[in-house]
Structure 1
Amino acid sequence: MDKEKLQEICERLPGITHDYQVDWQADRYHVGGKMFAMLGGDAERKPIITLKCEPNRAVELRETYNSIVPGYYMNKTHWNSLYLESDLSIDIFENLIVHSYNLVFEKLTKKAQKEIVAE
């Protein structure tokens, strides 16, 4: 999977902000000040995207796909990491990015949600 394509998907979502975490060498994407995606690498610098995921779905995905593992350097219950160098389809990446975004968006205050939607 192409890193630039994943960045495009993240940047299309409403109300996102982006920063670069130098210490982790990772691009981070936030909505309402809360992170929903991180593009970086694992301990061996293999490219990954780490995404928030509903816990039961997270386990199911890990059992189904070898390229989806518990979130690297994150809470293993609520985050998954997907290897970019894998046979995962663009649809899987896109669906899981949107799922992550929605989980974070839904936890924002109603006021923050309305402001984001109004942008």
Structure 2
Amino acid sequence: MTEDQLGPVEPWIAALVSELPGAEVIAYPEWGSQTLQVAGKHFGRVGSDPQGQRILTLKGDPDDNAALVQEYEAVTPGYYANKRLWISVRIEDGSVPRELVEEALKSAYAIVRASLPKRVQAQLG
């Protein structure tokens, strides 16, 4: 799959990522997705699930992830990822409030950013 075939990340996701210091969207054609990264570390991925539905896969707290999976049918353990540490949200479904998805994305960024060396965190601002 070429970078052009991946298509753009949803504008609201791109806008949110652009607000996070050092965060960027990186095409990952070999996975058929766009990754969300900070300092080269993945905190999310936009792609498709095995049924072809558009999903946002995010790193998260295992307890929070389990609660979201239980509460929303459109949230599942992360596709192609550690099922405890990652969740996937069907973003075209609309049943999960956008604010909750945005909060989960910011949380994923914060988790990964906090794991970076202190000097790298300082460089991010």
The TM-score range, normalised by the shorter chain, is over 0.9
Kept in 1: contact 2:37–2:43 (CA 8 A): yes
Paired with 2:15 and 2:35, the residues of 1 have a C-alpha distance of 13
Q: TM-score, normalised by structure 1?
A: 0.92
Question: Which segments of 5 or more consecutive residues in structure 1 lack a partner in the other structure?
Answer: none
1:20 aligns with 2:27: yes
Show the counterpart of 2:86.
79
Query: SS at 2:79's partner residue?
Result: coil
Kept in 1: contact 2:35–2:45 (CA 8 A): yes
Show the counterpart of 1:68.
75
Paired with 1:31 and 1:20, the residues of 2 have a C-alpha distance of 14
Question: Which segments of 5 or more consecutive residues in structure 2 lack a partner in the other structure?
Answer: 1-8
What fraction of aligned residue pairs are identical, expressed as a percent? 28
Show the counterpart of 1:101.
109
Q: TM-score, normalised by structure 2?
A: 0.88
Count of residues paired in the alignment: 116
Name the stretch that deviates more: 101-110 or 4-13: 4-13
Query: SS at 2:30's partner residue?
Result: coil
Following TM superposition, the consecutive aligned residue runs of length 4 or more in structure 1 with deviations greater than 6 angstroms are none
Letter in 2 for 1:112: V
Paired with 1:11 and 1:68, the residues of 2 have a C-alpha distance of 24
How much is the aligned-residue C-alpha RMSD, in angstroms? 1.2
